[in-house]
Amino acid sequence: MSINQLVYLSQSTRKMSAEDLNEILRVAKENNQRLDVTGSLFYNGGWFLQVLEGPLDKINALYKKIERDPRHKNSRILYNEPAKFRTFTRWSMNMTNLDDRQADKYAQLVEVIDAAKTDRKIGAMSPAVSLLKIFKE
Ligand SMILES: Cc1cc2nc3c(=O)[nH]c(=O)nc-3n(C[C@H](O)[C@H](O)[C@H](O)COP(=O)(O)O)c2cc1C
């Protein structure tokens, strides 16, 4: 089945605690598994960056629901394209809190979020494409 990958950037409406993030992750994992959606969610200094991948209709409907969530605002789609393969095959959803500097790939991921915030490219690549590449490698 063909799949799409959607990447968006948004701002949290308040500072997220570890418990807040875990609660988002808990519900996301449960729902996404049912929808055949995989992906990853990154949080850094009040910004969310999320990758959703799965069947196009499922991804678009899920994004519409997530977008309305009052825990974040100003959501902006950076990327929504068909893909041959999933990048995050192992996770119905995964959370990386980049405010915790122990995070794997910390520097690269912070750079992606910074570039996305300011609409900057990283080399010749858009932030969303850079993000997907980090995890394909
Ligand atoms: C940044 C962010 C990312 C989210 N990601 C997901 C997600 O991947 N899947 C999901 O089902 N809900 C996600 N949610 C939660 C949804 O907005 C919504 O609260 C939830 O899907 C409602 O689930 P329910 O219909 O089972 O009550 C996210 C919320 C936020 C703030």
Residue 2 has a pLDDT of 87
Does residue 16 belong to any structural domain of this protein?
A: yes
Q: Best mutation site among 27, 38, 49, 92 for ligand 1, i.e. most ligand atoms within 8 A of its Cβ?
A: 27
- Mind listing the pLDDT tens digit for each residue in 75-100? 999 999 999 999 999 999 999 999 98
Structural domain including 85 reads: 3-99
**Is pLDDT at 18 greater than 80 in this prediction?**
yes
Q: Into how many domains does the chain fold?
A: 1
Does residue 28 belong to any structural domain of this protein?
A: yes
CA–centroid distance, residue 135 to ligand 1 (Å)? 22
Does residue 42 belong to any structural domain of this protein?
A: yes
**Closest atom, ligand 1, to C-alpha of 31:** 11
**Is pLDDT at 137 greater than 80 in this prediction?**
no
What are the two backbone dihedrals, phi and then psi, of residue 14, each rounded to the nearest 5 degrees? Answer: -150, 170
Q: Would you call 110 exposed, middle or buried from its count of C-beta atoms within 10 A (0-12, 13-18, 19+)?
A: middle
Which position has the token pair 């993030």?
21
pTM above 0.85, yes or no: yes
**Closest atom, ligand 1, to C-alpha of 65:** 17
Does residue 109 belong to any structural domain of this protein?
A: no
Q: How large is the average pLDDT for residues 15-43?
A: 97
Read off the CATH number of the domain in which 81 is found. Answer: 3.30.70.100
Q: Kindly list the protein residues whose Cβ atom lies closer than 6 A to any atom of ligand 1.
A: 24, 27-28, 31-32, 41, 48, 50, 62, 65-66, 69, 71-72, 93
Residue 102 has a pLDDT of 85
